[in-house]
Amino acid sequence: MIQFIIKPALRWSQILTLGFLVAAWPGKSGASLAAVPAVHGVLASQDEPMNFSLEGKITKLEESKFTATTGENILFHVRYNDETQIKQQDGSAASAKDFRVKMTVKVEGDLTGSGEIVAKKIEIEQEAGSKSAPPR
């Protein structure tokens, strides 16, 4: 499931990205939107990214980023760094070296104006029938 948290002040590029994701696959994208009220009357910055989460399969691996699909022909580019928390499904520590193509991951992070997701947390899902972490 994809979850968006929309803040009161959005850039047009963010609105267009959301509109494409939701309108292109109505009822199929698994997207959900939630409004976030202004705190004490202060609006969110237009440069502030939106909270974003997804669960999908890795289709392409590159240095410090990967591409994932949710299975609805929607591709997401996920960037990670040394501050990104990477864990196995059971909560044990993992690293980017554990990522594999076709592996299912859960990502929590920020959707940037360019449509890229900057990951704060990545959880590696254990595949059905798999008893251990992927080989290193």
Write the CATH number for 42.
2.40.50.320
Q: Which domain holds residue 49?
A: 2-124
Total domain count for the chain? 1
Which pLDDT score, from 0 to 100, does residue 90 have? 95
Report yes or no on 25 lying in a domain: yes
Q: Which of 92, 122, 90 is nearest to 105 (CA)?
A: 122
pLDDT in tens, 53-80: 999 999 999 999 999 999 888 899 999 9
Inform me whether the pLDDT recorded for 50 exceeds 70. Answer: yes
Which pLDDT score, from 0 to 100, does residue 128 have? 55
Total Cβ atoms within 10 A of residue 135 = 7
Report yes or no on 132 lying in a domain: no
Report yes or no on 133 lying in a domain: no
